[in-house]
């Protein structure tokens, strides 16, 4: 396991390879498609985002409400392709990591290379386990979106797998080739 701390610098990411397992500590932000649409609109209008995106990580999740004594409820990843229309602009603004599940578009992969960012997968079906790595979660923007509001989360040893690395590798494509699976 490779331990990483946010915010990321290019030097933190340069040696990561598709298939590496990582434990992320620090602050990560949550956002799904409705929040991303608002964030990109702010960027297009030349306005500030509700958080400084430089070196940050966005987790594609809509967590369930926290039970008493917990920071957050179940927090499993959502399918990433819904954020693909917005991800390149978010990386251009400084985002260095994205966490979700599923493959990304060609445009997102090109932006990952251009911006020296990483796409990580969190394990679907492990939402309750993932929540144990989240020590604090607070809504910082778009409360009207409910579960899809933007949250600032403090995490410790958040488990993830590198899918798209800085060399253009894609773990999903590598797995298909390894097992001769057709698209």
Domain residue ranges of the chain, discontinuous segments joined by +: 2-6+21-178
What distance lies between CA 169 and its chain's CA centroid? Answer: 17
Given pLDDT bands bounded at 50, 70 and 90, which one contains residue 177?
low
* Token pair 């690395």 in the structure block, residue: 165
pLDDT, position 176: 65
Cα–Cα distance measured from residue 156 to residue 142, given in angstroms and rounded to the nearest whole number: 25
pLDDT, position 179: 65
pTM for this prediction? 0.93
Task: Spell out a b/e string for 49-88, using b for 16 or more CB atoms within 10 Å of the CB, else e.
Answer: bbbebebbbbbbbbbeeeeeeebbbbbbbbebbebbebbb
Predicted confidence (pLDDT) at residue 175 exceeds the cutoff of 60: yes
Mean pLDDT value across residues 70-97: 94
Mean pLDDT value across residues 33-59: 97
pLDDT, position 81: 95
Length of the chain, please?
Answer: 183
Tell me what the pLDDT averaged over the chain comes to: 92
Give the CA distances from residue 153 to residues 30, 42, 115, 138, in Å, rounded to whole numbers and listed in that order.
8, 22, 23, 7
- Show the beta-strand stretches assigned E in 43-149: 57-59, 97-100, 118-121, 134-141
> What is the architecture, at CATH level 2, of domain 2-6+21-178?
Alpha-Beta Barrel (3.20)
Which of residues 183 and 97 earns the better pLDDT score?
97
């Amino acid at each position: 396991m490779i331990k990483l701390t946010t915010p990321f610098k290019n030097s933190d990411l340069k040696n990561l390879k598709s298939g590496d397992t990582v434990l992320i500590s620090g602050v990560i932000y949550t956002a799904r498609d409705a929040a991303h649409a608002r964030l990109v609109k702010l960027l297009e209008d030349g306005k500030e985002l509700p958080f400084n995106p430089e070196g940050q990580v966005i987790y594609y999740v809509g967590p369930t409400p926290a039970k008493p004594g917990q920071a957050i409820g179940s927090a499993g990843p959502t399918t990433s392709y819904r954020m693909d229309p917005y991800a390149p602009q978010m990386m251009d603004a400084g985002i260095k990591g994205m966490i979700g599940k599923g493959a990304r578009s060609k445009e997102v992969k090109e932006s990952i290379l251009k911006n020296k960012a990483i796409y990580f997968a969190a394990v679907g079906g492990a939402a309750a386990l993932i929540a144990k790595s989240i020590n604090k979660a607070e809504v910082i923007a778009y409360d009207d979106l409910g579960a899809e509001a933007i949250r600032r989360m403090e995490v410790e040893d958040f488990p993830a797998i590198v899918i798209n690395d800085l060399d253009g590798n894609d773990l999903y494509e590598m797995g298909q080739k390894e097992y001769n699976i057709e698209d």
